[in-house]
Structure 1
Amino acid sequence: MSTLFHKVSLNQFALAYKDNNVENIYNDIKLPQRATKGSAGYDFFAPFDFTLKPNETITIPTGIRCEMDENRVLMIFPRSGLGFKYRMQLNNTVGIIDSDYFYSDNEGHIFIKITNNTNEDKVIEVKKGQGFAQGLFMQYFLTDDDDASAIRNGGFGSTTK
């Protein structure tokens, strides 16, 4: 069994992060990790500083991909402190990273789209290297009559194209 985080290639990251400083940002990307031995979630770290005013949204190219066995899924959630203090939410509520996404043309590059959904005047400021989301691995099961045979190639909505 294998479950590992990897960086996407510099070329793949540069397709998503258009900046003259892309190579330095890429080199500083930290792979997700747990904060304590009792932590369930792997923290995803901001590859660059960002600020979100109330009702603003940003899509973060994490530079991360995840290799995992079939019948496993990586579920992405906001870090609970940011969700509690600022109502920071993922735009798709929970990110679902399937095991076959790793082999997509985009190298399985994980993007995290978040919104500051507060009804107060609270600005979210996340510094480069700060944890802003967390991923939990889960095992799932199939029905006895499952016959899915399609092959994924892409991210959001790719399995229904």
Structure 2
Amino acid sequence: MKRIAKFQKVSYEQFTEGWIDTFGATNAEEIKTIYDHIKLPKRATSGSAGYDFCSTVAATLQPGEMLKIPTGIRCEITDGWVLKCYPRSSLGFKYCLNLVNQAGIIDSDYFFSDNEGHIFMKFKNNGNMVVNINEGDKIAQGIFVEYGITVDDDVTSVRNGGFGSTGK
């Protein structure tokens, strides 16, 4: 197996910024406790392709409701590879809980962004049942995929931003 990436926590300052942007002002002690409990993604078994991401927040999603979760995670990825993030199959299959963008694409240069490559997950409850998420629940899985580029590709620009920054 090729070893091509490493998960890390974003800095406490970056996590705090992402948390406040998502949920508004919160007690600094509460944010620090949440930050200290962040788990790096891990595979459940030696045969698992996906690395499980855990929720940093407890929440209840009503049908049609959306929730953005700052994971506190960043990933340093070797060039030529991408991390693709999907909802855990049980959440999608049982509850119709989906990532709003269907699949998150984490490029290797996202790690160097102004937001430290902070990975967020935004879910929508597309089902007809209330979905409860507990802090620490496995909510998504990330799978590393190798990719290629065209023979006439001559891109030299460098990313310096978060979501949507390459479309500016």
Smaller-chain TM-score bracket: over 0.9
Aligned to 2:147: 140
Instruction: Give the residue type in structure 2 aligned to 1:17.
Output: W
Among 54, 64, 75, the alignment partner of 2:73 is 64
Instruction: From the two aligned structures, give the one with the greater helix fraction.
Output: 2
Aligned to 2:23: none
**In structure 2, distance between residues paired with 1:42 and 1:129:** 14
Among 158, 161, 165, the alignment partner of 1:158 is 165
**In structure 2, distance between residues paired with 1:113 and 1:155:** 14
Among 43, 53, 69, the alignment partner of 2:52 is 43
Instruction: Give the residue type in structure 1 aligned to 2:83.
Output: L
How far the C-alpha of 1:2 sits from its partner, in A, is 4.0
Aligned to 1:11: 13
Aligned to 1:74: 83
Secondary structure of the residue aligned to 1:63 is: strand
How many residues get paired? Answer: 159
Segments of structure 2 that go 5 or more residues without pairing to the other structure are 21-25
Aligned to 1:83: 92
Tell whether 2:63 aligns with 1:54: yes
Segments of structure 1 that go 5 or more residues without pairing to the other structure are none
Secondary structure of the residue aligned to 1:17 is: helix
Aligned to 1:117: 126
Instruction: Give the residue type in structure 1 aligned to 2:146.
Output: Q
**In structure 2, distance between residues paired with 1:22 and 1:43:** 22
How far the C-alpha of 1:144 sits from its partner, in A, is 1.2
Tell whether 2:132 aligns with 1:130: no
CA contact (8 A) 2:114 2:162 kept: no
Instruction: Give the residue type in structure 2 aligned to 1:140.
Output: Y
Secondary structure of the residue aligned to 1:13 is: helix
**In structure 2, distance between residues paired with 1:30 and 1:50:** 18
Q: Percent identity?
A: 54
**In structure 2, distance between residues paired with 1:90 and 1:48:** 16
**In structure 1, distance between residues paired with 2:156 and 2:131:** 42
TM-score, with structure 2 as normaliser: 0.92
